[in-house]
Amino acid sequence: MITVVLVVTGLLLAALGLFLLFLYTIRWYDLSINRFDPAFSMTKTVTRQFWRPVRSFVAEYVYCVANGFFLLAGGALRLSGRRSSIPSGASAVKGAPLVVLIHGLMSTGANMWVMKQRLRFRGIRNIAIYDYPSTRGSLEEKRDKLRDFIVAAHEATGAQGVALIGHSMGGVIAHDYACEYGTERGGVVALVTTGAPLRGSRLAALGLSSAGRALHPQNPYFTRTSSRRPQAPFFCIGAVYDELVIPYTNSSHPLADSFEVVDICGHAGLLYSSSSFALVMQALRAALPDEAGEETGPVPDRLSGEVESGKI
């Protein structure tokens, strides 16, 4: 029995590696298709960038394994009837903003657990995780259900205002909520998106579900998204080696206060890497100085604009 489990686990890990390699091959194709340079090759890019692409692939593989573990844990919680998480009245701080974490497509609330614990470690107590069926319903329907959740969370905690942190599709939904309902119940006081395809992703052309296809850049939804911004501070975080938001610059917004990028991780890594979390905390400190506290460590180095020219 143990042998069977080990074999199945090994096959699943190998399949994950091959699938990730396939996604990064698509990313490379998209990066290089608009550039003609006979001297520009995948091998030269790897060596010129001090093996950053390879290190990023390995790191993202580890992050994807961790993400899969939390996905399974979240599925088990759903089967047991537990979904979204709202802080109890005893542990909540009345009058303080509510920080709502929103997962992405094909994920569960459990995938936001590490970020929740990191925030709690830094003294933020009003943290709620919004768990929703990401593969069902339109983006507008998901936004309205997020509104219902936030209303219930405010009533349960006595919080005032809301800070939204959304990963992937969760960031798209959070942005839509902040623009549509940003003045309700104390208003949206901060919006932070990580790896959110705010201008769509070309990979959506391969989507097998309507929810995945909805993230296509040519969806009229994103024309409206790009033209609106919330009144609250608005920060975007992306990963240069994001294998799902293609190009990775589509995780920025033309009207955002800032767009910061991290290195040595991909789409899943934005949930777990210390560099990504440091940027999340930097954004919260700027918007919620009384809640997020002081700087606890150095802000990670950001990459320069040369990335956009196709050097990575």
pLDDT given for residue 210 in this prediction: 86
Distance CA 177, CA 197 (A): 15
Q: Where are the domains of the chain?
A: 98-299
Q: Is the pLDDT of residue 177 over 80?
A: yes
Angle 237-74-151 from CA coordinates, rounded to 5°: 70
**Model confidence pLDDT, tens digit, residues 1-19:** 778 778 888 888 899 899 9
Q: Is the pLDDT of residue 78 over 80?
A: no
Q: Is the pLDDT of residue 304 over 50?
A: no
Q: CA nearest 23: which of 244, 265, 249?
A: 244
Q: Is the pLDDT of residue 147 over 80?
A: yes
When pLDDT is cut at 50, 70 and 90, the band that residue 76 belongs to is confident
pLDDT given for residue 291 in this prediction: 65
Compute the average pLDDT of residues 106-126. 91
Compute the average pLDDT of residues 64-80. 84
When pLDDT is cut at 50, 70 and 90, the band that residue 95 belongs to is confident
When pLDDT is cut at 50, 70 and 90, the band that residue 196 belongs to is very high
Compute the average pLDDT of residues 130-150. 92
When pLDDT is cut at 50, 70 and 90, the band that residue 159 belongs to is confident
Instruction: Give the 3-state DSSP-derived string for the chain, with helices as H, strands as E and coil as C.
Output: CHHHHHHHHHHHHHHHHHHHHHHHHHHHHHHHCCCCCCCCCHHHHHHHCCCHHHHHHHHHHHHHHHHHHHHHHHHHHHHCCCCCECCCCCCCCCCCCEEEEECCCCCCHHHHHHHHHHHHHCCCCCEEEECCCCCCCCHHHHHHHHHHHHHHHHHHHCCCCEEEEEECHHHHHHHHHHHHHCCCCCCEEEEEEECCCCCCCHHHHHCCCHHHHCCCCCCHHHHHHHCCCCCCCEEEEEECCCCCCCCHHHHCCCCCCEEEEECCCCCHHHHCCHHHHHHHHHHHHHHCHHHHCCCCCCCCCCCCHHHHHCCC
Fold of 98-299: Rossmann fold (3.40.50)
Compute the average pLDDT of residues 94-120. 92
Q: Is the pLDDT of residue 40 over 70?
A: no
Whole-number mean pLDDT of the chain?
85
